[in-house]
Amino acid sequence: MSKKLATRALFADALAGRLDRRTVLTRAATLGISAPVAAALAQSSIRTALAGDPEVLEVTSYDWQYANHPGLTEFVARLSETVPTEAEIAPSANFSTDVFLSEAAEQTSTWDLYTGVTPFLEMIQLVESDVIEPWDPYLPEGVLDDLFPPVRAEGTYQDQFYVWPWLLDIIVQGWNAEIVEAAGLDPEAAPATWDEYLANAQQVIDSGAAPFGCTFDFHAWRSLIPITHSISLDVYDPETGLFMWNSDPAVEALEIMKRMMPLANPDVLNPGTTDGGVNQTPDEQAFAARAVAYYIKYQNAHLRFASTWEDPGALRFGALPAPEGGAGGTVFWTTGAVLLKYGENKEQAAQFMHELNQDNAIWQNSITGNMPASPAVGQLPVYQSLWEEYEANRPEWITDWAFAIKDGLGSAQAITPTILSIQQFDLAAPFYTAYLRGETDDARAALTEAMDTVQAAYDDAMA
């Protein structure tokens, strides 16, 4: 057998998981394959062999979950001592579910569960495409009742529980107390109304404390819809679930955003540079650079980007402002796990999620961070029993803001999921950003065009 053929056979055997690590390394050395390649091949061999082992729980997660929660790796290692578990990063950038879809079409699945699902973005697609199945038969007793009711409702579709939540994010306002104080404002007081918020932002600029007063992320689920929720929560079509883009509260919210524009960093409408423009957005850069005082987004953005300040302790949080007489709501979502229909080890998957949710090492790191290795990200647990325990026997690492943000769940509402997923927001964005840029001067007309476009896409999807 020529060296070329022998090498090819080695790769085929290793990638198919037919060889143990020792054999791979021995054969690779005989063939003169470089050490890094041989090591990678041996690793692949193990992974593939494990994938073929029905006894091993196969978990895949969004890449940011490992970056934001380094304790996940340790958790997997710990769990593996009792439940053999193999975990890896999912090929799912920009909320893509293609890989799961492709495998389900072949009635197979490399993994048993995927922990990177945000219900309003991916849940319906995954259900409708027959990729996932409900958790209900595998749930330990009492888990559903232990979830905060809106969180439980968020992961439920057609009366079945599909997304087991893990990480809670809520849209809040955060501010740089040093800048606010330098502007002559009370650094501990959160603006209660949008008028107050805008007036404070103006004062920041006028005082020269920072070049910009406020900023936001223009993606609708991070700004327009939360601001709309602060006005009214009755903004979803009961039949389609679509956000009612041209409803009165949405128009009012867009007008509030329009008033923010001259107070915000001028690149605020530029898309981000990762995940199809969704992440690494300009608001994050402005807040990190201390060029802006007030900032509306989910709490983990404030925390991550305040970690670059000289004094990250200058970060303050408050509930989203609301207009006089408004609903005072905001948007929350969780990121959680789905059970892949063609995966195996369903009971072990349930055990994984149940124990993951109760792993205090992860929550401690999420709330306090471990600088310089990992900043606090502030994503919070969703089990009521955990919070009751924190209140009864408060751990030293838990912070007041963590309780405050958790309490914000009381007035928060999840975005209703639809089959359009993220495309609903991509389709509407050009219309309302045109208004924010001043290219059109009628907020209602802009949002009516957005609504028409989204509705047409929805009708087409359901045709």
Residue 100: CB minimum distance to other proteins, A: 11
Report d(CA 37, CA 14) in Å as an integer: 12
Residue 411: CB minimum distance to other proteins, A: 30
Q: Does 270 bind other proteins (CB under 8 A)?
A: yes
Report d(CA 40, CA 17) in Å as an integer: 13
Residue 421: CB minimum distance to other proteins, A: 6
Q: Which is nearer to other proteins, 66 or 403 (CB)?
A: 66
Q: Does 433 bind other proteins (CB under 8 A)?
A: yes
Q: Does 416 bind other proteins (CB under 8 A)?
A: no
From 16-24, 246-254, 274-282, 406-414, span contacting other proteins (CB under 8 A) = 274-282
Q: Which is nearer to other proteins, 308 or 358 (CB)?
A: 308
Binding mask of the shown chain, residues 51 to 90, with x at each position contacting other proteins by CB under 8 A: ----------------------------------------
Please report how the helices 423-436 and 443-462 are oriented relative to each other, as an axis angle in degrees rounded to 10. Answer: 160
Q: Which is nearer to other proteins, 140 or 266 (CB)?
A: 266
Q: Are 57 and 352 in contact (CB under 8 A)?
A: yes
Q: Which of residues 102-121 bind other proteins (CB under 8 A)?
A: 102, 105
Strand bridging mode 164-176 / 315-318: antiparallel
Q: Does 267 bind other proteins (CB under 8 A)?
A: yes
Report d(CA 50, CA 55) in Å as an integer: 8
Binding mask of the shown chain, residues 191 to 210, with x at each position contacting other proteins by CB under 8 A: --------------------
Q: Which residues pair with 176 in a beta bridge?
A: 315
Q: Does 274 bind other proteins (CB under 8 A)?
A: yes
Select the residue interacting with other proteins from 291, 361, 386, 404 (CB under 8 A). 291
Q: Around Cβ 423, how many Cβ atoms within 10 Å?
A: 15
Residue 404: CB minimum distance to other proteins, A: 29
Q: Which is nearer to other proteins, 230 or 281 (CB)?
A: 281
Residue 157: CB minimum distance to other proteins, A: 15
- Which one, of 243, 249, 287, 248, lies nearest residue 267 by Cα? 287
From 78-86, 163-171, 262-270, 317-325, span contacting other proteins (CB under 8 A) = 262-270
Residue 353: CB minimum distance to other proteins, A: 25
For the chain, how big is the Rg over CA atoms in Å? 24
Q: Are 354 and 153 in contact (CB under 8 A)?
A: no
Q: Does 429 bind other proteins (CB under 8 A)?
A: yes
Q: Does 456 bind other proteins (CB under 8 A)?
A: no
Alpha-carbon distances of 272 from 32, 207, 300, 309, 368, rounded to whole Å:
45, 30, 16, 21, 27
Q: Does 426 bind other proteins (CB under 8 A)?
A: yes
Report d(CA 233, CA 299) in Å as an integer: 21
Alpha-carbon distances of 242 from 363, 417, 428, 436, 451, rounded to whole Å:
34, 8, 11, 22, 9
Q: Which is nearer to other proteins, 101 or 139 (CB)?
A: 101
Q: Does 445 bind other proteins (CB under 8 A)?
A: no
Residue 6: CB minimum distance to other proteins, A: 19
Residues with Cβ within 8 Å of 402's Cβ and at least 6 positions away in sequence, in order, are 367, 378, 380
Q: Does 273 bind other proteins (CB under 8 A)?
A: yes
Residues belonging to the chain: 463
Q: Which of residues 324-343 bind other proteins (CB under 8 A)?
A: none
In degrees to the nearest 10, what's the CA dihedral of 119, 122, 126, 128? 90
Residue 68: CB minimum distance to other proteins, A: 19
Structure tokens at 53: 């082992």
Select the residue interacting with other proteins from 430, 442, 456, 459 (CB under 8 A). 430
Q: Which is nearer to other proteins, 396 or 441 (CB)?
A: 441
Report d(CA 208, CA 224) in Å as an integer: 28
Residues with Cβ within 8 Å of 193's Cβ and at least 6 positions away in sequence, in order, are 321, 322, 323, 324
Q: Which of residues 362-381 bind other proteins (CB under 8 A)?
A: none
Q: Where are the alpha helices (DSSP H) in 52-123?
A: 63-68, 71-80, 98-105
Q: Does 15 bind other proteins (CB under 8 A)?
A: no
Q: Which residues bind other proteins (CB under 8 A)?
A: 96, 98, 101-102, 105, 125, 128-130, 211, 265-267, 269-274, 276-278, 280, 282, 285-286, 288-289, 291, 419-424, 426-427, 429-430, 433-434, 457, 460-461
